[in-house]
């Protein structure tokens, strides 16, 4: 196995655009093309174009595909209609989160599971192992797709100029096959920015043609290419968890405040059911820590791993932090003791290199788009 980073189908294009590249989960990915703030603001006010080809696609097919996914994942997969998608998780037997996922039901007996880049192999292995005894096939489709996202308020108009597909009828968390700029694509109304937008799954050989067509069609609307750096500040403002930060194998969905994704009412057993039932009970009676938002009163930026302090002692830990272009102040997500988790709690700070900087506790998300 060589340790050379994997390259997306758009690698040469990113370099020609002067992108600053970075290693992300074994892939060489664009961090930014110009100013992170400009890229962030473009997505909030106009539109941004992202290469997300590092995400891991796994196809599950067969007569018992639904049964397998119901057993392997915590969500109720049978209630996803064909052409719809759902946010869910895969957990360990002890309830720890292996990854958060989006599951697209493409046809009656065909699903596409999209995993985070850093977890794609782990998820693939877990699904393959859990498929034993089910009449279903788990296929690694990571090399079969490039993934391009158009995000922001202007994205529907830009995409409409390139496709005959009924975008108005395409609801949030739905996907339909179509043609965009002459390229066959699965068009999904999903994203990770807090804005309206679309994710386009295409064959790698068509990625460059699609990117160029979107760039051209989007230019009058102010669309610009965007890197992973602004993707992180966008999802942070939108209060969306990132695996390895807000979600880990040490936490259950209930610890993360995402217990709603666990569906105990579905038929049959599922991996982690017993442990998750106990976690649900704990979260009801005495939650150890809660995920909250923190907004800086000063200018210093909190980073993951820094201690949240109150009354001279550590009461939590920052999981993600960054300057927020939309709020104009540094923000963070953090797990803090329940006693300090209520919005407006006084006397909470973050220990930034020995100084206790004051922070305001707020409920998530920091930013919600006006529908």
Over the chain (371 residues), the average pLDDT of each successive run of 10 is 86 98 97 98 98 98 98 98 97 98 98 98 98 98 98 98 97 96 98 98 98 98 98 98 98 96 96 97 89 96 98 97 97 97 96 96 96 76
- Asked whether residue 228 is domain-assigned, the answer is yes
- Output the six-digit token pair for 182: 């002459």
> Same domain, yes or no, for 160 and 232?
yes
Report the alpha-carbon distance of residue 66 to residue 68 in Å, rounded: 5
- Asked whether residue 281 is domain-assigned, the answer is yes
- Asked whether residue 197 is domain-assigned, the answer is yes
pLDDT at 287: 82
- Asked whether residue 1 is domain-assigned, the answer is no
- Output the six-digit token pair for 261: 């994704």
Bridge partners (DSSP) of residue 316 are 308, 336
> Same domain, yes or no, for 128 and 260?
yes
> Same domain, yes or no, for 256 and 218?
no
What is the extent of the structural domain holding 26?
A: 6-53+145-237
> Same domain, yes or no, for 58 and 167?
no
pLDDT at 2: 60
What's 18's DSSP letter?
T
The enclosing domain of 281 has a CATH number of 3.30.70.1400
Among residues 237, 271, 300, the one where a domain terminates is 237
3-state secondary structure of 122: helix
- Asked whether residue 326 is domain-assigned, the answer is yes
> Same domain, yes or no, for 282 and 308?
no
Report the alpha-carbon distance of residue 229 to residue 294 in Å, rounded: 20
> Same domain, yes or no, for 157 and 296?
no
> Same domain, yes or no, for 150 and 231?
yes
Buried b (16+ CB within 10 A) or exposed e, 238-251: bbbbbbebbbeeeb
Strands 197-202 and 329-337: unpaired
- CB neighbour class for 108 (10 Å; exposed up to 12, middle 13-18, buried from 19): exposed
pLDDT at 245: 98
- Asked whether residue 369 is domain-assigned, the answer is no
pLDDT at 251: 97
**pTM (2 decimals)?**
0.96
> Same domain, yes or no, for 132 and 279?
yes
The enclosing domain of 169 has a CATH number of 3.30.1360.120
Question: Would the CA dihedral through 225, 229, 230, 236 be positive or negative?
Answer: positive
- Asked whether residue 349 is domain-assigned, the answer is yes
Instruction: For residue 79, report the phi and psi dihedrals to the nearest 5 degrees.
Output: -90, 5
- Asked whether residue 35 is domain-assigned, the answer is yes
Strands 224-225 and 48-51: parallel
Number of domains into which the chain is organized? 3
The enclosing domain of 346 has a CATH number of 2.40.30.110
> Same domain, yes or no, for 270 and 334?
no
> Same domain, yes or no, for 47 and 60?
no
> Same domain, yes or no, for 155 and 233?
yes
> Same domain, yes or no, for 122 and 169?
no
């Amino acid at each position: 196995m060589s340790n050379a980073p994997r390259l997306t189908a758009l690698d040469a294009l990113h370099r020609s655009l002067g992108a600053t590249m970075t290693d992300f989960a074994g892939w060489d990915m664009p961090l930014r093309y110009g100013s992170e703030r400009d890229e962030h603001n473009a997505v909030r006010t106009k539109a941004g174009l992202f290469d997300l080809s590092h995400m891991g696609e796994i196809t599950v097919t067969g007569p018992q595909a639904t049964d397998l996914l119901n057993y392997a994942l915590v969500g109720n997969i049978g209630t996803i209609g064909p052409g719809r998608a759902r946010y869910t998780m895969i957990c360990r037997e002890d309830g720890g989160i292996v990854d958060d996922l989006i599951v697209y039901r493409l046809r009656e007996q065909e699903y596409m599971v999209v995993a985070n880049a850093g977890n794609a192999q782990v998820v693939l292995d877990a699904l393959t192992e859990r498929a034993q005894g089910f009449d279903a096939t788990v296929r690694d489709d990571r090399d079969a797709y490039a993934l391009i996202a158009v995000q922001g308020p202007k994205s529907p108009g830009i995409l409409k100029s390139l496709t005959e597909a009924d975008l108005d009828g395409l609801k949030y968390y739905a996907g339909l096959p179509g043609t965009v700029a002459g390229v066959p694509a699965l068009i999904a109304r999903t994203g990770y920015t807090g804005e309206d937008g679309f994710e386009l799954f295409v064959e790698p050989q068509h990625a460059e043609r699609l990117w160029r067509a979107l760039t051209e069609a989007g230019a009058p609307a102010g669309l610009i290419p965007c890197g992973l750096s602004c993707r992180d500040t966008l999802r942070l403002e939108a209060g969306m968890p990132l695996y390895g930060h807000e979600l880990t194998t040490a936490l259950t969905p209930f610890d993360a405040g995402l217990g709603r994704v666990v569906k105990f009412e579905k038929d049959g057993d599922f991996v982690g059911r017993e442990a998750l039932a106990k976690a649900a009970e704990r979260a009801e009676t005495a939650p150890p820590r809660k995920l909250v938002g923190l907004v800086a009163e000063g200018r210093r930026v909190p980073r993951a791993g820094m201690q949240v302090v109150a009354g001279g002692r550590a009461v939590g830990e920052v999981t993600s932090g960054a300057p927020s272009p939309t709020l104009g102040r540094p923000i963070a997500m953090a797990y803090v003791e329940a006693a300090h988790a209520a919005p407006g709690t006084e006397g909470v700070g973050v220990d930034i290199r020995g100084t206790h900087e004051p922070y305001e506790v707020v409920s998530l998300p920091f930013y919600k788009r006006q529908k």
